[in-house]
């Protein structure tokens, strides 16, 4: 343990070399990138996303020869606004990835920045991958460092995401370790994002990821130009942990840097709902499949959950919007019971049908000591199901679908992307095929090119 | 006391009419505006400010026909980037105003937004004034609401400033009360700014005001376009107070709205140093003048201060930069002892001369119960001076120069602006005369015009 852990972390991020990353981790990073593309495309047409896109056009950038793509409408802009709009877009469908231990969604703040700066600077695929890995490794460790007390009030993806985005941008800009520390300082002092919006179905989640990506990128660009940041913004006496955590553990910041690849622990999201609902959803699915239950056979479901699930999901009793429904355990379990899957289309077309609303009222959450003590390292799913004929059935999954031990194949990732692109209309199936072909090859590209028109501009 | 104080506050800000503001408050607002112009001009050439200005040019905006002025270089840009750069510039010289009770610097986050949007929308001077007053009234009350615990770790001007900027922008955009509440929600969930940077002489202070202004403006523009914010971002269970304060008092949010004009309680800064040094500086000056002391007569000075001064100033022992020197009690008292004034030129030319360094070592701070219990409502200055011939002298001021009961005249404000503009080179004395002539008339302008070229574009 160093006496300046944030410098150790910044040095790691600044100096991370592609060749130091194991091949399996590179492969997983490419998978996470392609998975992210699907989420970014899924944001097209979503009101909060389009509103932020209009703001960005009004605020500046957006000339035809600007170097960066906005994926929802294929327009061109500067790195700052591309990071902002793609950051907003990729967290909307609730299908972007999550790291369990830090309760942090890395892709939505890391890849918008990596793609924008790589396109602007014509970086290689190797540097793109190294920068993305740097962002994940930094963000996940800071999330773990800030602990569960932080997540009770703060949306970690907004707060920690700002520093993760800065790490990614800083790696692509070739910052020195001290400049990277400056970037952390400027990013950490801008870290923000409060859970309060959940109670109102407000649009802040898109704002959090948009601004984490944009502010993180800004912080690294400022650092490259000599702008100084606090050197102990994470662990200092008036830094992030001092202000926003009561259980911070600085040792987590440097946990096995270079040997533990936290990015490979990241989970894909299978259902299009808050990740806190997934373990119970998969456990319910297991009961339904094992006992061949129909929804009408089920009288009551108790989801045995960790405290964090109650904190985040407890705010919504009767969802009024699709987005609120994604944070409602009863709705998610209802969709799973009726469709076997809670995807974007299932939510959009049926979150408030009579059947789903009736099922919702059969569901309750209960705190479970075993689940809670395993959390956040492991997200165990446990449900108790009471049937109409008087049986009490128990379901359990130790790794929900999408977790590293139960991950998505490249075929499943492709299917998910096509489904999301079709849902939002951001790409035809043919366009999806073309962009997938390019995207799978990103690690070996000499220059990161357009997502949509690689063959044209290559 | 309402059960939804933030809605009451948002409604006040949205509906504040120029005619409801007493004439004396309007006059004071104009004085604060002109005082702010001087601080904005003073930022020219300052490395952190110029770095943010370069970032803004790179990120977007900045076309010749954009409607808003950047005051340090008279270039044109969009409201977003004008707010950002003028917000960065006007907090650099440490000469911008401060509200004692909230320990909040309103001008540097309110006027950049008011000027940018008024120029963009060709608003009247009356609306400009009403919007500025709305920003002050909102920001000051939120600062008081968050209390002293907030200020221990968070830079209130950054955090609260974001919501104050949103209030100003929202008033100029004509938001409804519910839209204003949305703007508060988006601003409050972006509120950030940590004191950690002080320890390193980092540049974050300019970043805090830049982004408070820009993000606040963004929040109001988003709200005007239908973007929803949390409706209880200030007082909710996962809102600002929950995350960033332990002594928040919601009653302060609505304290005598419409009858108490908090803007009129705002102090001008006379010395170009952290406001926490001013009471002791003026008390020392009183002792020196009363007893006709020369600096060499003084053996020791004890500044009797409130805890907040120790928290903020205690981080700097030996200042390495002008900016750190402004947060060093010994340096400020040394400049006052030698020059009778601690202005931008005194700092720039002499903060680390042998004489000032020697005087600095004669100064200590001591916690004082009377001063502390009066703070933050009143900033009492008390010093004890030990002289070479063995006398112990006591100095005291109950209202430091610039406080409402000891305010600056319009002549003094003009002198201060000319001095700041000359210091930075942002305007010649002739140019200063011309812009002052326009600026004093702002409340009666049919359209808020260019700061520099009013007669040309009018």
Quick: pLDDT tens for B100-155. 999 999 999 999 999 999 999 999 999 999 999 999 999 999 999 999 999 999 99
Average pLDDT over residues B73-96: 96
Nearest to B341 by CA among B418, B277, B250, B270: B270
A203 touches chain B (CB under 8 A): yes
Bridge partner residues of B300 (DSSP)? B386
In this structure, are residues B388 and B382 in contact, taking their beta carbons and an 8 Å threshold? Answer: no
Interface of B with A in 249-268 (CB under 8 A): none
**Cβ count near A432 (within 10 Å):** 22
Rounded to a whole number of angstroms, the distance between the first and last alpha carbons of chain B is 46
Rounded to a whole number of angstroms, the distance between the first and last alpha carbons of chain A is 46
Query: What's the rounded Cα separation, in Å, for the pair B28 and A458?
Result: 61
Write down which residue in B351, B375, B401 finishes a domain: B401
Q: What was the pLDDT predicted at A457?
A: 43
How many independent structural domains does chain B possess?
2
Query: What's the rounded Cα separation, in Å, for the pair B103 and B99?
Result: 6
pTM above 0.80, yes or no: yes
Query: What's the rounded Cα separation, in Å, for the pair A246 and A185?
Result: 20
E strand segments, A236-387 = 298-305, 363-367, 381-387
- What DSSP element (H or E) covers A397? strand A392-397
B225 with B320, same domain: the answer is: no
B240 touches chain A (CB under 8 A): yes
B67 with B115, same domain: the answer is: yes
Pair type for strands B381-387 and B363-367: unpaired
A249 with A353, same domain: the answer is: no
Is position A451 within any domain?
A: no
Q: What was the pLDDT predicted at A112?
A: 98
Phi, psi (5° rounding) for residue B377? -60, -45
- What DSSP element (H or E) covers B455? helix B454-457
- CA distances in angstroms from A419 to A87, A294, A345, listed in the order given: 20, 26, 9
Is position A448 within any domain?
A: no
Inter-chain CB pairs, A–B, below 8 Å: 215
Do the chains contact at B55 and A240, CB–CB below 8 Å?
no
Interface of B with A in 168-197 (CB under 8 A): 182, 185-186, 188-197
Q: What is the mean pLDDT of each run of 10 residues along chain A (458 residues)?
A: 90 98 98 98 98 96 88 97 98 94 96 98 98 98 97 97 98 98 98 95 96 98 98 98 97 97 96 94 96 96 95 86 92 96 91 95 96 93 97 96 94 96 96 97 95 63
Q: Please give, rounded to a whole number of angstroms, the shortest distance from the CA of B449 to a CA of chain A.
A: 20
Instruction: Cis check for the bond before A376: say yes or no (omega within 30 of 0).
Output: yes
B78 touches chain A (CB under 8 A): yes
A224 touches chain B (CB under 8 A): no
B15 with B101, same domain: the answer is: yes
A212 with A304, same domain: the answer is: no
Residues 6+ apart with CB under 8 A from B274: B94, B312, B313, B326, B327, B332
Helix (H, G, I), strand (E, B) or coil at B417: helix
Q: Is the pLDDT of residue B80 over 70?
A: yes
Pull the structure tokens for residue A434.
């073309």
The three state secondary structure string of A423-447 is HHCCCCHHHHHHHHHHHHCHHHCCC
Nearest CA in chain B to A117: B59
Query: What's the rounded Cα separation, in Å, for the pair B253 and B256?
Result: 9
The three state secondary structure string of A182-195 is HHHHHHHCCCCCEH
Helix (H, G, I), strand (E, B) or coil at B313: helix
- What DSSP element (H or E) covers B69? strand B68-70
Q: What was the pLDDT predicted at B456?
A: 44
Query: What are the DSSP calls for B179-246, one per residue?
Result: HHHHHHHHHHTT---BGGGGGGT-SHHHHHHHHHHHHHHHHHHHHHTT----TTTTTSTTSHHHHH-S
Is position B408 within any domain?
A: no
In this structure, are residues A367 and A340 in contact, taking their beta carbons and an 8 Å threshold? Answer: no
Pull the structure tokens for residue A355.
């059947």
The ipTM of this complex is 0.93
A187 with A153, same domain: the answer is: yes
Q: Is the pLDDT of residue B457 over 50?
A: no
In this structure, are residues B442 and B27 in contact, taking their beta carbons and an 8 Å threshold? Answer: no
Instruction: Cis check for the bond before A381: say yes or no (omega within 30 of 0).
Output: no
Do the chains contact at B80 and A61, CB–CB below 8 Å?
no
Pull the structure tokens for residue A162.
């700002």
> Is the pLDDT higher at B172 or at B100?
B172
Taking contacts as CB-CB distances below 8 angstroms, the residues of chain A near B225 are: 51, 54-55
Pair type for strands A298-305 and A363-367: parallel
A203 with A302, same domain: the answer is: no
Q: Which of B155, B243, B246 to mutate to test the interface with A (most CBs of A within 10 A)?
A: B243
Q: What was the pLDDT predicted at B1?
A: 56
Q: What was the pLDDT predicted at A384?
A: 98
Confidence band, pLDDT 50/70/90 cuts, at residue B316: confident
Is position B229 within any domain?
A: yes
Helix (H, G, I), strand (E, B) or coil at B294: coil
Q: What was the pLDDT predicted at A454?
A: 62
Q: How many residues does chain A have?
A: 458
Is position A100 within any domain?
A: yes
Is position B85 within any domain?
A: yes
Q: What was the pLDDT predicted at B458?
A: 37
Q: What is the CATH number of the domain that holds A332?
A: 3.30.1330.120
Taking contacts as CB-CB distances below 8 angstroms, the residues of chain B near A208 are: 189
In this structure, are residues A208 and A153 in contact, taking their beta carbons and an 8 Å threshold? Answer: no
Is position B95 within any domain?
A: yes
Query: What's the rounded Cα separation, in Å, for the pair A405 and A402?
Result: 8
Query: What's the rounded Cα separation, in Å, for the pair A248 and A242?
Result: 8
A168 with A192, same domain: the answer is: yes
The tens digit of pLDDT for each residue in A393-417 reads 999 999 999 999 999 999 999 999 9
Instruction: Give the one of A52, A61, A238 whose C-beta lies nearest to B195's C-beta.
Output: A238
Q: What is the CATH number of the domain that holds A43?
A: 1.10.4100.10
Query: What's the rounded Cα separation, in Å, for the pair A222 and A206?
Result: 24
Instruction: Give the one of A48, A59, A229 whose C-beta lies nearest to B78's C-beta.
Output: A59
B328 with B251, same domain: the answer is: no
Q: Note the helical H segments in A102-235.
A: 107-121, 125-153, 156-172, 177-188, 204-224
Domain that holds residue B295: 275-401
A247 with A345, same domain: the answer is: no
Average pLDDT over residues B319-337: 93
Give the DSSP letter of residue A299. E
Do the chains contact at B153 and A194, CB–CB below 8 Å?
no
Pull the structure tokens for residue A248.
């911070």
Average pLDDT over residues B225-253: 97
- What DSSP element (H or E) covers A279? helix A278-291
Q: Which of B238, B246, B327 to mutate to test the interface with A (most CBs of A within 10 A)?
A: B238
Phi, psi (5° rounding) for residue A104? -130, 135
Bridge partner residues of B394 (DSSP)? B384
Question: Helix %, strand %, coil % for chain B, to 5?
Answer: 60, 10, 30
A137 with A239, same domain: the answer is: yes
The tens digit of pLDDT for each residue in B380-433 reads 999 999 999 999 999 999 999 999 999 999 999 999 999 999 999 999 999 999
Query: What's the rounded Cα separation, in Å, for the pair B360 and B352?
Result: 9
- What DSSP element (H or E) covers A394? strand A392-397
Query: What's the rounded Cα separation, in Å, for the pair A352 and B444?
Result: 55
Write down which residue in B231, B265, B299 finishes a domain: B265
Is position B454 within any domain?
A: no
Nearest CA in chain A to B61: A60
Query: What's the rounded Cα separation, in Å, for the pair B234 and B9?
Result: 11
A244 with A336, same domain: the answer is: no
Write down which residue in B208, B241, B265 finishes a domain: B265
Bridge partner residues of A381 (DSSP)? A397
Phi, psi (5° rounding) for residue A93? -75, -5
Nearest to A232 by CA among A3, A6, A2, A458: A6
């Amino acid at each position: 343990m160093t006496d300046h852990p944030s410098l150790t972390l910044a040095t790691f991020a600044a100096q991370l070399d592609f060749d130091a990353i194991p091949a399996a981790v590179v492969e997983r990073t490419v998978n996470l990138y392609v998975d992210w593309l699907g989420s970014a495309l899924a944001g097209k047409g979503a009101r909060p996303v389009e509103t932020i896109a209009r703001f960005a056009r009004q605020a500046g950038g957006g000339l035809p020869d600007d170097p960066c793509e906005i994926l929802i409408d294929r327009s061109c802009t500067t790195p700052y606004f591309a990071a902002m709009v793609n950051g907003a877009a990729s967290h909307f469908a609730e299908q972007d990835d999550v790291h369990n231990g830090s309760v942090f969604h890395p892709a939505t703040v890391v890849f918008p920045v990596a793609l924008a700066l790589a396109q602007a600077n014509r970086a290689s695929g190797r540097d793109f991958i190294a920068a993305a890995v740097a962002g994940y490794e930094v963000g996940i460790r800071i999330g773990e460092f800030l602990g569960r007390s932080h997540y009770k009030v703060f949306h970690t993806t907004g707060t920690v995401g700002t520093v993760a985005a800065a790490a990614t941008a800083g790696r692509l800009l070739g910052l020195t370790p001290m400049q990277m520390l400056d970037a952390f300082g400027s990013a950490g002092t801008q870290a923000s994002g409060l859970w309060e919006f959940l109670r109102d179905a407000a649009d802040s989640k898109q704002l959090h990821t948009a601004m984490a990506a944009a502010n993180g990128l800004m912080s690294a660009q400022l650092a490259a130009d000599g702008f100084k940041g606090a050197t102990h913004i994470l662990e200092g006496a008036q830094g992030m942990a001092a202000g926003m955590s009561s259980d911070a553990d600085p040792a987590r910041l440097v946990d096995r840097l270079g040997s533990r690849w936290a990015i490979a622990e990241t989970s894909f999201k299978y259902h299009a709902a808050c990740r806190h609902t997934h373990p119970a959803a998969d456990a319910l699915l297991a009961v339904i499949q094992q006992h061949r239950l129909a929804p009408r056979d089920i009288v009551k479901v108790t989801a045995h959950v960790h405290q964090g699930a109650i904190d985040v999901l407890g705010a919504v009793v009767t969802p009024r919007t699709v987005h609120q429904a994604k944070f409602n355990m009863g709705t998610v379990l209802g969709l799973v019971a009726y469709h076997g899957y809670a995807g974007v289309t299932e939510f959009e077309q049926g979150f408030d049908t009579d059947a789903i609303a009736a099922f919702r009222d059969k569901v309750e959450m209960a705190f479970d000591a075993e689940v809670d003590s395993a959390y956040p390292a492991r997200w165990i799913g446990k449900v108790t199901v009471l049937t109409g004929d008087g049986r009490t059935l128990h379901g359990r999954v130790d790794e929900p679908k999408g977790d590293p031990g139960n991950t998505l194949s490249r075929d499943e990732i492709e299917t998910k992307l096509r489904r999301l692109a079709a849902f939002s209309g951001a790409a035809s199936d043919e366009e999806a095929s073309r962009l997938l072909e390019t995207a799978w090859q990103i690690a070996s590209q000499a220059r990161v090119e357009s997502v949509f028109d690689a063959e044209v501009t290559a």
